[in-house]
Amino acid sequence: MNGAAAPERSPSASPPPPAQAQAQAPPSPSPTQPLEWRFSQVFGERSAGEEVQDVDIISAIEFNESGHHLATGDRGGRVVLFERTDVKDHACRKDAEKADYSISRHPEFRYKTEFQSHEPEFDYLKSLEIEEKINQIKWCQAANGALFLLSTNDKTIKFWKVQEKKVKKVSEMNLDHSTAPANGSPGGVGYLSPSLSNGNALKPGGLPLLRLPVVTSQETSLAASCRRVYAHAHDYHINSISNNSDGETFISADDLRINLWNLEISNQSFNIIDVKPTNMEDLTEVITSAEFHPTHCNTLAYSSSKGSIRLVDLRQSALCDTHSQIFEQHEAPGSRSFFTEIIASISDIKFSKDGRHILSRDYMTLKLWDVKMNSGPVATFQVHEYLRPKLCDLYENDSIFDKFECCQSGDGLRVATGSYSNIFRVFGCGTGSSEATTLEATRNPTRRQLQNPTRATRSLSTLTRAVRRGGESTGIDVNGNSYDLSTKLLHLAWHPSENLIACAAANSLYMYYA
């Protein structure tokens, strides 16, 4: 029987024949234990009653491939970089063995630098104001000690290089002050000896008064320089960018088109996907997110507002209007309502590190898909099911259109996504796992643990009338905890190799480890 433990045999027992050994099913792996999450750090923590400026609200978070650097972008167009301090990038084995790291030591980051990536612009041809808000950040391959990353707002993508530069200073002029002329200029600077000024030849041995300043470089400063600007290729707002595993190209996606770029060429891109109909009245769905496969440079996936994910092979044709696979969950007969299509819209997709699964987030759920099985998701996680009776109120105050991101651990055993009241949820997706942890973006993340409700949820029906017309944004969840629709945790990222989550609560960056 599949999943049954193998019977124990005494050491003297003879081994089974080969055919019997092949028929024996391997034991199923034991479910992983739930992680115990702890607060690690916070940057930009606001004090009680402090008003948050809109330009300071974080709008993008991304770890680099090694996990040693973290980048955040905000609505003010700034990119802030953090670097890890508890590990050394190039430490030798002997030094690592000497280091006394305790088991409880957690990852630590520090502020590295920041720069202004985008400025507000105005498109005079379309009379359109372009916000400076950073929509996404993607790290590129580092080279020669420099960091490279892509950042985008609604219309323009920029390629940045961040590098340490030595500050050269003149530490010693090495002047002979006794030869200073009467006008006060120092000797040796713009001063010629009388023998040369009269046109006489230079004597053998040179001039004793010619002295060079000594230049030293003691300090280093971080400088961010924009290497390329990829502009004028999108008529609609860019919702995602993604680097290719070949290290040379990347894609950018808006509502109707996906373009392929070469990092070295900024004045030309190739339109590889175009879902714009001939007549815009026939438009039924838009592109919401797109991402390259982590290892196959010819494969990418993109999601739509109808809740479907399409897998595309770039080798099939230049214009990839036809997909190689489509992943979608068909609704049960009779379950369709006015909100069905709205809450089915996928706001974010992520490939797993090995590329075998795709994680998607719609408004109510988190779904895990196997790329080799398009009949339906292999797992579905309810994020905030207590809001389902309140979809009418969420529609009226536009909360139903909030776009939450999702992420997956490097080992593929857990997934995470955000919700309201600055909480985020971590689910176990391993075999037999029932892990479902709720954490709040505060210094005490476990104070709002969600348990299975043991009492009737009668407060939901009575609360529906209280939050009419979007007049209020608070309510009670199934455990009696209040929730606040005005505080939402939209952006979060999982460290590529460790159990460390970075998440944004307004202008504050919180980090938690397990």
Lowest mean pLDDT among 32-46, 136-150, 299-313: 32-46
pLDDT band at 466 (very low <50, low <70, confident <90, very high): very low
pLDDT tens digits along 56-82: 999 999 999 999 999 999 999 999 999
What pLDDT, on a 0 to 100 scale, did the predictor assign at position 479? 58
With cut-offs at 50, 70 and 90, classify the pLDDT of residue 356: very high
Query: E strands of 389-454, at which residues?
Result: 406-408, 414-418, 423-428, 436-440
Q: How far apart are CA 173 and CA 214, in angstroms?
A: 6
HEC string for 135-204: CEEEECCCECCEEEEEEECCCCEEEEEEEEEEEEEEEECCCCHHHCCCCCCCCCCCCCCHHHHCCCCCCC
Mean pLDDT of the chain: 82
Q: How far apart are CA 428 and CA 321, in angstroms?
A: 35
> What pLDDT score was predicted for residue 33?
84
Q: How far is Cα 503 from Cα 401, in angstroms, rounded to an integer? A: 20
Q: Are 494 and 61 in contact (CB under 8 A)?
A: no
CA distances from 191 to 182, 183, 196, 199, 202 (A): 11, 11, 10, 14, 15
Residue recorded with tokens 């609609």: 236
Domains of the chain in sequence order? 38-45+52-87+107-168+215-449+481-513 (2.130.10.10)
Q: Mean pLDDT throughout 473-491?
A: 76
pTM of the model: 0.79
